[in-house]
Amino acid sequence: MSSAGVLEVRGPFPSEEIQAYSDLHPKPRNVVYSYGTAGFRTLGSVLDSVLFRVGILAALRSKKLDGKTIGVMITASHNPEEDNGVKLVDPRGEMLEAAWEHHATLLANSPNEEFVSTLYDFIRDTRIDMSKPSRVVYARDTRPSGESLVKAFEDGLKSLGAEGRDAAINTKGTKEEYGEDSEDGYYQKMSEAFRKLVSGRPRIPPLVIDCANGVGAHAAQKLAQYLGETLPFVLHNTDTVTPGGLNHECGADYVKTSQRPPPSLIGVLQKGQRACSLDGDADRLMYYFIDERNYFLMLDGDKIATLVASFIVDLVRLAGLSDSVRVGVVQTAYANGASTKYLSDRLPVKCTPTGVKHLHHAAEQFNIGVYFEANGHGTPSTPAQSTALKHLRNLTELVNQTVGDALSDMLLVEVVLAHKAYSAAEWNSLYTDLPNRLVKVHVPNRHAFKTEDAERRLVTPQGLQAKIEELVNRYESGRSFVRPSGTEDVVRVYAEAGLRSQADELAYRVGGLVFDEAGGDPSRRPKEFY
């Protein structure tokens, strides 16, 4: 070892084992992988080598952090069943450090014959001590491809002799079952806090939950046992076995994107009854109801943020803490303009680029920061100081402050509704959403689109932003912005305006501008939908 740097890997490097296991999980030559906002995400059928290599990477990340536990989630969230994906979670529940996203991409793309030497160089350059222990806890959602991908991932762990623990619900009742204490403890803690928070309030009418035929079905069934009559559930779309069901015509993304209820709930929902949809991995939450006139009304992430923030503001005020505890809301450009206006009149609001890591970071600048993306992804982060207050203390027990958990968000909404004695309609009337439309545009190279000002303006392609603004100005209460997706190979166009027809028209027109500018395949030009 020279003082200039470490020339060799510290500790054992089992190159033969790694090579032997790696040969079982060859990388397809024609696929290029990239670790994006949501980790690696693509068709489940081309992810075998990625999962194997992520197993290795997770073990190395743990060694690098002195044996702290790393989390790995195998899921493609709200995406269709044939997709799958994997992301890493750092020890405190936060997203993988950005530099390691780059390492992950590098390792995933290394050709088979170079993999072991690329890995060696990486371990040496990153100064990972291979004699350190490593601990990895992992889980998957209910997708059919999940089972074999878990095996590939476990091979990655085994090749380094790393310790892994399967925290997935699918091991329940099998000989691999891991003690359920922690999962049970979690439901116990949440439901006890919930009971305390709603005690003395009127009986809560049943809540309809669309579980997206995903992993949330298992969790909701479990939680129902703990909550009993305190909060009765009516569970739908709980079939995690029939192929093709996951997120199909159900789930939070379906509801938000199509702006209608899952067909399976039509005829089930009674007027005024509260209903909500989870997504495939149960980290998004969308509330909705049918009003007296039989209209479908959505209570999305913005409405949730508004409800929760106003409740927290009330609690802080009642506790006489207004001067010392700063409550704020964090949104992205996708937040409905009406919500931004409503909130900005009442408390500080910050806008960040898309992605939980940006929102979370900004939320930490407040003492209590509430963030929900419009699509229902989010959580409030409450500080330790608030323990002076009983309700705030119970709130911290209830909410999951590091990673999205739609069920804990749902309980929080129910607490606030119970406290404010709000019906779904009263909650909805806090402000009226501006009609809006989100469109995907397929372009040859989405990376040509660069943004600034929390993604609200395009920097490149040059001149396009000016054209968008020229269009937007022709619409009353018009707003539109364009950004490349971090999770799909598309550019997203968002538009809102005072009238439904105008929002649709604006979205279509901006979509057309983007498409023409990017030189897309004419057969994929956005279609008129208004």
> Which residues sit in the known binding site for Mg(2+)?
77, 279, 281, 283
Q: Which lies closer to Zn ion via its Cβ, residue 280 or residue 478?
A: 280
Span of 25-33, 149-157, 306-314, 373-381 interacting with ligand NG1 by CB under 6 A: 373-381
354 touches ligand NG1 (CB under 6 A)? yes
How far apart, in whole angstroms, are the C-alpha atoms of residue 41 and residue 475?
37
77 touches Zn ion (CB under 5 A)? yes
Among 254, 492, 502, 511, which residue interacts with ligand NG1 (rule: CB under 6 A)?
492
How far apart, in whole angstroms, are the C-alpha atoms of residue 362 and residue 355?
11
Span of 168-176, 306-314, 393-401, 481-489 interacting with ligand NG1 by CB under 6 A: 481-489
Q: Is 2 exposed, middle or buried (0-12, 13-18, 19+ CB in 10 A)?
A: exposed
Q: Which lies closer to ligand NG1 via its Cβ, residue 339 or residue 375?
A: 375
283 binds, among Zn ion, ligand NG1, none (CB under 5 to 8 A by kind): Zn ion
- Residue 104 CB, shortest distance to ligand NG1, in Å, is 16
488 binds, among ligand NG1, Zn ion, none (CB under 5 to 8 A by kind): ligand NG1
How far apart, in whole angstroms, are the C-alpha atoms of residue 86 and residue 281?
12
Among 115, 334, 342, 475, which residue interacts with ligand NG1 (rule: CB under 6 A)?
334
Q: Which lies closer to Zn ion via its Cβ, residue 96 or residue 507?
A: 96
508 binds, among ligand NG1, Zn ion, none (CB under 5 to 8 A by kind): none
The answer to whether 134 and 62 are in contact (CB under 8 A) is yes
281 binds, among ligand NG1, Zn ion, none (CB under 5 to 8 A by kind): Zn ion
Is the backbone of residue 9 left (phi > 0), alpha (psi -120 to 50) or beta?
Answer: beta
Residues 6+ apart with CB under 8 A from 25: 48, 49, 51, 52, 53, 152, 155, 156
From the list 333, 301, 332, the residue with the least C-alpha distance to 479 is 333
- Residue 334 CB, shortest distance to ligand NG1, in Å, is 5
How far apart, in whole angstroms, are the C-alpha atoms of residue 188 and residue 349?
34
Interface mask (CB under 5 A) for Zn ion, residues 278-297, using x and -?
Answer: -x-x-xx-------------
Candidate list 62, 77, 110, 310, residue with the active-site label? 77
Residue nearest to Zn ion (CB): 77
277 touches Zn ion (CB under 5 A)? no
Span of 118-126, 263-271, 316-324, 487-495 interacting with ligand NG1 by CB under 6 A: 487-495
210 touches Zn ion (CB under 5 A)? no
Among 357, 488, 489, 498, which residue interacts with ligand NG1 (rule: CB under 6 A)?
488
The answer to whether 503 and 436 are in contact (CB under 8 A) is yes
Q: Which lies closer to ligand NG1 via its Cβ, residue 77 or residue 480?
A: 77
Please list, residue by residue across 383-417, b when 16 or more beta carbons sit within 10 angstroms of its beta carbon and e when fewer do.
beebeebebbbbbbebbbbebbbbbbbbbbbbbbb
For the record, the structure tokens of 281 come out as 């991995």
37 touches ligand NG1 (CB under 6 A)? yes
The answer to whether 305 and 343 are in contact (CB under 8 A) is yes
> Catalytic site residue 62?
no
Match 């350059």 to its residue by tokens.
125
Among 210, 281, 373, 496, which residue interacts with ligand NG1 (rule: CB under 6 A)?
373
Determine how β-strand 285-290 pairs with β-strand 479-484: unpaired
Span of 68-76, 202-210, 371-379, 411-419 interacting with ligand NG1 by CB under 6 A: 371-379
CA angle 82, 176, 169 (to 5 degrees): 45
Helix (H) or strand (E) holding 453: none
Residues 53-112 that bind ligand NG1 (CB under 6 A): 77
Residues 53/58/60/62 CA torsion (nearest 10 deg): -170
The answer to whether 42 and 79 are in contact (CB under 8 A) is no
Which residues are near ligand NG1 by CB under 6 A? Answer: 37-38, 77, 334, 354, 373, 375, 377, 485-488, 492
Positions marked catalytic:
77
Which residues are near Zn ion by CB under 5 A? Answer: 77, 279, 281, 283-284
